């Protein structure tokens, strides 16, 4: 391949990587996780019995899936 083409491709790739990095840094991941955690805690406090039963059901299903031959 021509060196000019390779240089252009490298430049375009580096620019794409920088732009993607910038976009990722703008996402408030910590805030999203904290908001989800707060909503989950609120639902568990409002419906404790259902939460325990759902947790037990998920545990049973995971156990059955992981222990199957």
pLDDT tens digit string along 22-47?
888 888 888 899 999 999 999 999 99
- Cα–Cα distance for residue pair 62/56, rounded to 1 Å: 10
Give the pLDDT of residue 13: 92
Of 41, 23, 44, whose CA–CA distance to 33 is shortest? Answer: 41
- Phi, psi of 31, deg, nearest 5: -65, -40
Give the pLDDT of residue 30: 83
Question: Average of pLDDT values for 37-61?
Answer: 95
- State the DSSP H helix or E strand holding residue 21, giving kind and residue range, or none if neither: helix 3-26
Residue 54 has pLDDT above 70, yes or no: yes
Give the pLDDT of residue 58: 95
Give the pLDDT of residue 1: 60
């Amino acid at each position: 391949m021509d060196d000019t083409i390779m240089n252009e491709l490298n430049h375009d790739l580096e620019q794409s990587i920088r732009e993607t990095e910038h976009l990722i840094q703008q996402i408030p991941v910590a805030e999203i996780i904290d908001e989800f955690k707060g909503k989950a805690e609120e639902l568990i406090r409002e419906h404790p019995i259902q939460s325990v039963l759902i947790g037990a059901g998920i545990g049973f299903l995971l156990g059955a899936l992981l222990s199957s031959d």
